[in-house]
Structure 1
Amino acid sequence: MRPTRLSPCMFYRRIVCQSPRSRSQRAISSLSHFAEVANRSSSKHQIYRSLSQDPFVNLSIEQYLLQKTPEDSNVLFLYVNRPCVVIGRNQNPWLETNLGSLAKHGSPEQATTSSTTPIDNVLYVRRHSGGGAVFHDGGNLNYSVICPRDVFTRDRHAEMVARALQRIGAVNAKVNERHDIVLTQQPKEKAARQTATAGSQDPPPDEAVIPQALKISGSAFKLTRSRALHHGTCLLDSPNVHNLGAFLRSPARPYILAKGVGSVRSPVGNVSSALSGPFSIEAVISSIIDEFSRLYQTGDKVLAQTKDSPQQDEQLRVGDDWVAGTVGEALVREIPDIQTITSMLQSLDFKFLQTPEFTFSTFPTEADPRDRPPLPSSLPHSTKISIRAKKGSIVETSISTSSDAEIAKQQESQSQQLLNGKNLHEMDRQAWNDVLQTVVSIDDGLLEPTEQVVELVTDFVCHKFGVSV
């Protein structure tokens, strides 16, 4: 028999009767009533911490809070994800990530196990909001603020987090013109500190000796008719700060012309490197909660209850106009809307078929006249590859290896016929090999054996598109 569903009023009366305290004081709620109290019109102030490290779960809870919480409420949601690369809604995974590295470090066999080393089990995730690609791990805190749209500005919550970092000793934390939080540095200390503590997302080589701020937090936004979501990362003490390029540097980048939003590459660093004393992630979390409470005047009761909330069990504490506590994966099982969002985020359709139109070309074109890196010398010197994809599906292809114009034209036609309509993410190595076998074999004047050329071209294509071997 299904349990009786409680209305918000019925639920509130029940938990108050179970507590000896007065109605105006705090009460403890089972997590099964999350939907009732989160959606309750009187829940003006809401603060949650997630116990889950699953990025799909945390982004789903976040999206649910954006959709369901009262229009005039203010919500803070804090979570830490296991290693993953998260791209914006309008980004291109073949451009923004190294899918080959992700496939190697995030195999299906690993997907349900916890990470035992910092760089194992790296997932690929597409989120609902815009913005650029970021790397998450256990040393990166994610903060999310949902508020009425009419009070939202792009710097409002970044400034909130910067103040929180300053309070724990990162006095050089500030918000720059791109709405990022950075650690400013003095010229005399910059070279030594950046060498010792900073990683990089492809900084220009000639800037290695120029004093510059280290990015510790990037932001993304999602606006609805009445609500605004601002979520950001905060590199606190990541052990992978030197390894970000391994997952965020696509081997296909020099060949791709893409619509959509591109990421801006910046030198990055850890907050812990800016502190003279010991570092504690709990101190950062506590400071952010303090600043959120000041900004939105949540009152002492919700602030105290948030800091007193249990850190091991999913549990809520509820007052007249507030909700605070810890949440996690149980919400996916208990709330169908969150389960639906999680399933969508995990689907290959959402991960890949949301990709804006792009063109991969090994040679300059009128639309993209950039010089290209030279192709491997092992390939026939006349090799040309051009692929245009829309929504992750191939719509136009031109692949040829022959130096004979007529044969090359036949190869291009054959490649178009074989690849048109194929979903790019579904093309594994065998599929590419089969297509290229047919295309290359049209040229019977090859100096090298056909099989060898097919293998070499397959290697090249699979490497650029992140196809695991």
Structure 2
Amino acid sequence: MLWRNGPAVVIGRHQNPWQECDLRLMRSRGVPLARRRSGGGTVFHDQGNVNLTFFTSKKNYDRQRNLRVVTTALQSLRPELDIRATDRLDILLNGRYKISGTAAKLGRTASYHHCTLLCSADRALLSALLKPSCPDIQSNATASIPSPVTNLLDEDPTLDPDIILNAVVRQYSTEFGCSGLVRPIDPSDEVMFPGIDKMEEELRSWEWRFGRTPRFSIHTSLELRDDTPPSCVTAALSMEVKNGVIERCEVQVPSHWLPEELCEEFGSLLVGSRFCPANTAAVAATMLRSVCEGKEVERRLHQLCQSVISVMG
């Protein structure tokens, strides 16, 4: 299956989105987050990124052969290009620049292998989005391995996605003895793909995209400021998060700056809520409405709440 889609960040099944991408920037740019069922690292998609998915039985699963289809297709277009697959099953241009990454899922009887192919992707947006929202996370989640990337179009301005797709089709037909007939499909067609609507609902849900994140913890410091007179204090934030839900939260702020009981109450209220800005903002708003200790305390508590929210991307 050959496919392209609009701008999106796609993480692997066992990854942590807060470690992999700038969620705040993604929201502001309207770029959605998706989590694959397959493993591997994080990738950026847009119309300049061609995606190839090879479906087969588990017995015939062969990622090297699939990648050979791609590299041979590219070499048939431009024999002078140095394009080769690596032991890590990436595809490199000129021995350095990554133009394709790989992910796969092996089922009991069937398997699939898919890879990206950077043709004319927005590399500036790619670079901006693939930065961590929260750098102070400790986790056993699969981490992406940063690599220098480039577009095939940067190497040769005539290599647009359609030319590359047609070359892959021809080489696939040669390799696997197919007719070469290309048939458009509608991936949202419930008649052709029974159960696709239910699957889409699951994959779009917060529980799948964020809640499937492996357990992680955060231990970080927050800089809190006063303008009159100018001063700065440091708060300590410690959290344990499981299935995207805060299991433990401790906020420590110097007692002369904010009453200790307010910090304890804030941390306690966050336990059981989602690790996300919207939920934390709702908890903060509820707490701020109940504070009766003067404007200065309320202002400082509000600043603490905003600092905790910023940690969550």
- Residue 243 of structure 2 is aligned to residue 391 of structure 1: yes
Aligned match of 1:86 in 10, 17, 31?
10
State the partner residue of 1:249. Answer: 131
Which structure exhibits the higher relative contact order, with contacts defined as CA atoms closer than 8 Å and separated by 6 or more residues?
1
State the partner residue of 1:206. Answer: none
**2: CA distance between counterparts of 1:435 and 1:327?**
48
Q: Deviations over 1:209-254 (max 9, x none)?
A: xxxx11111111100112221111111011x11221321112312x
Q: Is the 8 A contact 1:332 1:342 kept in 2?
A: no
**2: CA distance between counterparts of 1:91 and 1:265?**
14
Aligned match of 2:276 in 392, 405, 425?
425
Aligned match of 1:172 in 63, 71, 82?
82
**1: CA distance between counterparts of 2:40 and 2:5?**
18
In the TM superposition, 1:343-354 aligns within 5 A as 343-354=201-212
Amino acid at match of 2:19: L
- Structure 1 gaps of 5+ residues are 1-76, 107-121, 186-212, 307-324, 364-374
In the TM superposition, 1:13-162 aligns within 5 A as 77-106=1-30, 122-162=31-71
- Structure 2 gaps of 5+ residues are 227-231
3-state SS of 1:424 partner: coil
TM-score normalised by the chain length of structure 2? 0.87
State the partner residue of 1:261. Answer: 142
Q: Deviations over 1:245-301 (max 9, x none)?
A: 321112312x111122111111110011222x6223222111111222232222xxx
State the partner residue of 1:454. Answer: 301
Amino acid at match of 1:291: Q
State the partner residue of 1:115. Answer: none
Distance 1:328 1:413, change over 3 A: same
Amino acid at match of 1:451: E
TM-score normalised by the chain length of structure 1? 0.60
**2: CA distance between counterparts of 1:278 and 1:382?**
55
Q: Is the 8 A contact 1:432 1:458 kept in 2?
A: no
Amino acid at match of 1:434: A
**Offset at residue 334 of structure 1 (A):** 5.8
Amino acid at match of 1:420: V
Q: Is the 8 A contact 1:79 1:141 kept in 2?
A: yes
3-state SS of 1:244 partner: helix
3-state SS of 1:157 partner: helix
Q: Is the 8 A contact 2:101 2:115 kept in 1?
A: yes
Q: Is the 8 A contact 1:148 1:228 kept in 2?
A: yes
Q: Is the 8 A contact 1:436 1:457 kept in 2?
A: no
* Rg larger for: 1
State the partner residue of 1:414. Answer: 265
**1: CA distance between counterparts of 2:101 and 2:160?**
21
- Residue 151 of structure 2 is aligned to residue 270 of structure 1: yes
Amino acid at match of 1:450: V
**2: CA distance between counterparts of 1:331 and 1:144?**
18
State the partner residue of 1:464. Answer: 311
Q: Is the 8 A contact 2:14 2:213 kept in 1?
A: yes
**1: CA distance between counterparts of 2:195 and 2:208?**
17
Aligned match of 1:295 in 160, 175, 189?
175
Aligned match of 1:231 in 114, 119, 128?
114
More strand by proportion, 1 or 2?
Answer: 2
3-state SS of 2:128 partner: helix
Q: Is the 8 A contact 1:88 1:129 kept in 2?
A: yes
Q: Is the 8 A contact 1:132 1:262 kept in 2?
A: yes
Q: Deviations over 1:317-365 (max 9, x none)?
A: xxxxxxxx110155146644111111111122211111110111115xx
State the partner residue of 1:342. Answer: 200
Q: Is the 8 A contact 2:223 2:234 kept in 1?
A: no
Q: Deviations over 1:75-128 (max 9, x none)?
A: xx000010011111111111111111111122xxxxxxxxxxxxxxx1111111
State the partner residue of 1:402. Answer: 254
State the partner residue of 1:35. Answer: none
Amino acid at match of 2:90: D
3-state SS of 2:40 partner: coil
**What RMSD in Å do the two structures reach over aligned CA positions?**
2.7
**2: CA distance between counterparts of 1:394 and 1:136?**
30
3-state SS of 2:75 partner: helix
